[in-house]
Amino acid sequence: MQEAINQVKTELGRDAVILQTRRVKKGGFFGLFAKEQFEVMAAIDNTQKPAAQQPNLSYYPTTPSPAKTVPPSENQEILALRQDVSTLKKLMEHMVISFPGTATRVSPLIELLTANDIESDVAQLLTQGLPATFEDSQTALLQELLKNRISGCLKRVEPIIPEAGCCKIAAFIGSTGVGKTTTIAKLAANFALKEGRRVALITADTYRIAALEQLKTYGDIIGVPLDIVYTPQELREAIDRHRDKDLILLDTAGRSPKNQQQVQELQALLAIEPAIQVHLVLSTTTKYSEAVEAVERFSGCSPTKFLFTKVDEAANIGTIINLLHRFPMALSYITTGQNVPDDIEIADPQKLANLMLRS
Ligand SMILES: Nc1nc2c(ncn2[C@@H]2O[C@H](COP(=O)(O)OP(=O)(O)O)[C@@H](O)[C@H]2O)c(=O)[nH]1
Ligand SMILES: [Mg+2]
């Protein structure tokens, strides 16, 4: 709070009068994971100040004529905002007048969300405060509002950001066949060939020869080294060998989340280096209940990011918001096909929200 008040003093000067201070919860999933923030309302009496002492005259006008003093771009923004507010006001008035007492019907908005496999508790949260019934002409506007709410829930995006002189290590874990190895090949090709980063691959997927050969082939084509490790100690040594790289991508065996022993082995492997960022790879074609099971089983490996594959094959991607609601982690990438290296993108909340509301 003291910091907020100091900020007010810096911005408005020592004469600013604090009118009100309060703690507010902002962001999060409609209050569920909200962060506490401080709000300070302050005012400044400009009329008492001699004009000469007001360097920021355009922002603190002494006369009530904003047209003259507010910069034109700001003026337009204010006008646009006013217009938005008045449209919304009209819309809300209309809703209340036209549809009294009809709140018991299932909202078409909730129907739209659940048709896209968004769980009903999540759908309820997303539609909080929105009318249950409305005219067709208002559908587009309300859907837009929903999309904004959805993208707000997906806004924690954390892709891999290599830094020169700092060896980033990213591990990819998840069930067999979700697309870990293919995703690693896409990332390696993009970082090494398009961005000119120094990349090394390490694989701990030694269960199947075919899996080893798959990554070896990609490594050879991209021109990056591949190390094969069987034990945590070997992983330690391989990481140390590649300290000079910008990025190490670590592939893991497609453990079955049902096999707890395999997951524990993986946990022991990843535990040797705390700097490893762990991406939990899930296919968007997986049923929500199975995806939940996978997240719970792999939780011992401390993943911090979701990476969703096969968005091109999924009938809908409601699972993404369902999972984020239940497990508040970041999103890293989504993959959209089998092509290496093109079919991968940094997760884009707005784009995902659009996809999520396919009707
Ligand atoms: N349609 C589609 N297929 C994918 C995608 N990512 C991976 N695959 C395919 O899924 C299969 C399994 O991929 P792989 O990388 O071997 O999975 P891993 O067992 O998790 O390493 C392969 O046939 C891939 O081509 C994707 O985004 N879309
Ligand atoms: Mg693999």
68 with 104: CB under 8 angstroms?
no
**pLDDT score at 42:** 76
pLDDT tens, residue by residue, 32-48 = 556 778 777 777 766 54
**Closest ligand 1 atom to Cα of 343:** 27
Does the beta carbon of 265 lie inside 6 Å of ligand 1?
A: no
Residues (pLDDT < 70) of the chain are: 25-34, 45-74, 87, 90-105, 255-258, 359
Write the DSSP assignment of 83-150 as a string of letters: HHHHHHHHHHHHHHHH-TT-TTSPPHHHHHHHHTT--HHHHHHHTTTS-S---GGGHHHHHHHHHHHH
**Whole-number Å distance between alpha carbons of 180 and 174:** 7
**Nearest alpha carbon, ligand 1 atom 7:** 179
Does the beta carbon of 205 lie inside 6 Å of ligand 1?
A: no
- Can you tell me whether residue 73 is helix, strand or coil? helix
**Nearest alpha carbon, ligand 1 atom 23:** 338
Q: For residue 285, give the ligand nearest its CA.
A: 1
Q: For residue 184, give the ligand nearest its CA.
A: 1
**Whole-number Å distance between alpha carbons of 169 and 248:** 5
Cα(156) to ligand 1 centroid in Å equals 25
Does the beta carbon of 234 lie inside 6 Å of ligand 1?
A: no
For β-strands 247-251 and 199-203, DSSP reports them as: parallel
Structure-block tokens of residue 4:
């907020």
Structure-block tokens of residue 350:
């707005």
Does the beta carbon of 180 lie inside 6 Å of ligand 1?
A: yes
**Nearest alpha carbon, ligand 1 atom 17:** 179
For β-strands 168-173 and 199-203, DSSP reports them as: unpaired
250: buried, middle or exposed (CB in 10 Å: 19+, 13-18, 0-12)?
buried
- Kindly calculate the radius of gyration of the chain based on its CA atoms and give it in whole angstroms: 26
Strands in the chain per DSSP E: 17-26, 35-43, 168-173, 199-203, 226-228, 247-251, 277-283, 305-309, 330-335, 344-346
In the block, residue with structure tokens 């090709």? 189
Does the beta carbon of 179 lie inside 6 Å of ligand 1?
A: yes
Mutate to test the pocket of ligand 1, among 283, 338, 344, 345 (most ligand atoms within 8 A of CB): 338
Mutate to test the pocket of ligand 1, among 172, 176, 181, 182 (most ligand atoms within 8 A of CB): 182
Cα(258) to ligand 2 centroid in Å equals 17
**pLDDT score at 262:** 84
**Closest ligand 1 atom to Cα of 336:** 27
pTM (2 d.p.): 0.73
**pLDDT score at 40:** 77
Q: For residue 253, give the ligand nearest its CA.
A: 2
Does the beta carbon of 219 lie inside 6 Å of ligand 1?
A: no
**pLDDT score at 74:** 66
Does the beta carbon of 177 lie inside 6 Å of ligand 1?
A: yes
Cα(164) to ligand 2 centroid in Å equals 28
**Whole-number Å distance between alpha carbons of 76 and 111:** 38
Structure-block tokens of residue 302:
């401390």
Does the beta carbon of 283 lie inside 6 Å of ligand 1?
A: no
What b/e string do you get for 45-76 counting C-beta neighbours within 10 Å, with b at 16 or more?
A: eeeeeeeeeeeeeeeebeeeeeeebbeeeeee
Cα(252) to ligand 1 centroid in Å equals 14
235 with 252: CB under 8 angstroms?
no
**Nearest alpha carbon, ligand 1 atom 6:** 179
**pLDDT score at 32:** 57
Does the beta carbon of 178 lie inside 6 Å of ligand 1?
A: yes
Q: For residue 203, give the ligand nearest its CA.
A: 2
Cβ-Cβ contacts under 8 Å for 140 (sequence gap 6 or more): none
